[in-house]
A and B are shown apart, each in its own frame.
Chain A
Amino acid sequence: DADVTQTPRNRITKTGKRIMLECSQTKGHDRMYWYRQDPGLGLRLIYYSFDVKDINKGEISDGYSVSRQAQAKFSLSLESAIPNQTALYFCATSFPGYGYTFGSGTRLTVV
C-alpha cells in the first residue's frame, strides 16, 4: 500500500457542485498539506495542518476548505467548483525538518 493515498485519482465535475478530495497516510506524520499543480506554475500550497487541531491557510486558499478528521486523514473540499479549479491536486505529509512525501495526485476537471 502507498504511504500517502489520494482518492479519487480522477474526477470530472460540473460547475457549482461541491466536491471532496480525500487523503490518508500511513507514515505516522503529524503534518499534512494540500497542493495544487498547474502547468508552468509549479506546486502551490492551498492548506496545511501541523496536527489534528491545527489548520492553516496557504498561498491560494480562496474557494477551498479542509478538514483534518484524524492524524492520518486530511480532506480538501471545493464548496462550489469553478472551471479555473481544474488542476492536479496533491496531498503530502512530513516529519518536521524533513522532506515531504506526496500522494499520486487527483486530476480534477470542472466543466
Chain B
Amino acid sequence: GQQLNQSPQSMFIQEGEDVSMNCTSSSIFNTWLWYKQEPGEGPVLLIALYKAGELTSNGRLTAQFGITRKDSFLNISASIPSDVGIYFCAGLINYGGSQGNLIFGKGTKLSVKP
C-alpha cells in the first residue's frame, strides 16, 4: 500500500531557529495536508495543499506541494516554545470520482529549547 516517509523523526532546536521537515512517497497524491498534535489532544490541521507546486503560508508556517506530487515540505520560521508537538504529513489520493483515505506519515516530534 501507499506509504509516506516523514523526516526527521525528531528535532531538538533552540528558540528562534527555523525548522524544516518533509514527506516523500513513491505514490502520487492529489492533496497534501500538515497536522500538528499537542500533548493530550488530537491532530489539528495546519495547512492543506491541493495543487502541484502550490506554496501556502499560515503565519510562520509555510508548506509546499511538490511538483512531482510525491512530496511535500513544511517550514516553521523563528520557532517559539509553543511550536512543540508532533507534526504529521498526510496525503490523499482520489480514485476517479471517489476519494481514498488519508495516508499519514509517522510524525516529526519537535522540541524547542527556550
Number of interchain pairs (Cβ within 8 Å): 50
Q: What chain A residues lie within 8 Å of B21 (beta carbons)?
A: none
Q: What chain B residues lie within 8 Å of A41 (beta carbons)?
A: 106
In this complex, the interface size class of chain B, counting residues with CB under 8 Å from chain A, is 20 to 34
Q: Which of A58, A90, A105 contacts B101 (CB 8 A)?
A: A58
Beta-carbon contact of A102 and B40 below 8 Å: no
Q: Nearest Cβ in chain B — how far from A32, in angstroms?
A: 12
Beta-carbon contact of A99 and B104 below 8 Å: no
Q: What chain A residues lie within 8 Å of B43 (beta carbons)?
A: 43, 90, 100, 102
Q: What chain B residues lie within 8 Å of A104 (beta carbons)?
A: 40-42
Q: What chain B residues lie within 8 Å of A59 (beta carbons)?
A: 1
Please, how many angstroms separate the alpha-carbon atoms of A94 and B33 in the complex?
A: 13
Beta-carbon contact of A97 and B42 below 8 Å: no
Please, how many angstroms separate the alpha-carbon atoms of A58 and B104 in the complex?
A: 13
Whether B99 sits at the interface, judged by CB under 8 Å, is: yes
- Contacts A42-B88, A43-B43, A58-B101 known; A99 to B48 CB distance under 8 Å? yes
Please, how many angstroms separate the alpha-carbon atoms of A99 and B40 in the complex?
A: 20
Task: Please encode chain B, from 69 to 99, with 1 for each CB lying within 8 Å of some chain A CB and 0 for all others.
Answer: 0000000000000000000101010100001
List, sorted by A's number, 9 A–B pairs whose CB atoms are closer than 8 Å.
Answer: A33-B101, A42-B104, A43-B43, A43-B88, A94-B102, A99-B33, A101-B45, A102-B42, A105-B41
Interface residues in chain B, defined as those with a beta carbon under 8 Å from any beta carbon in chain A: 1, 9, 31, 33, 35, 40-45, 48, 88, 90, 92, 94, 99, 101-102, 104-107
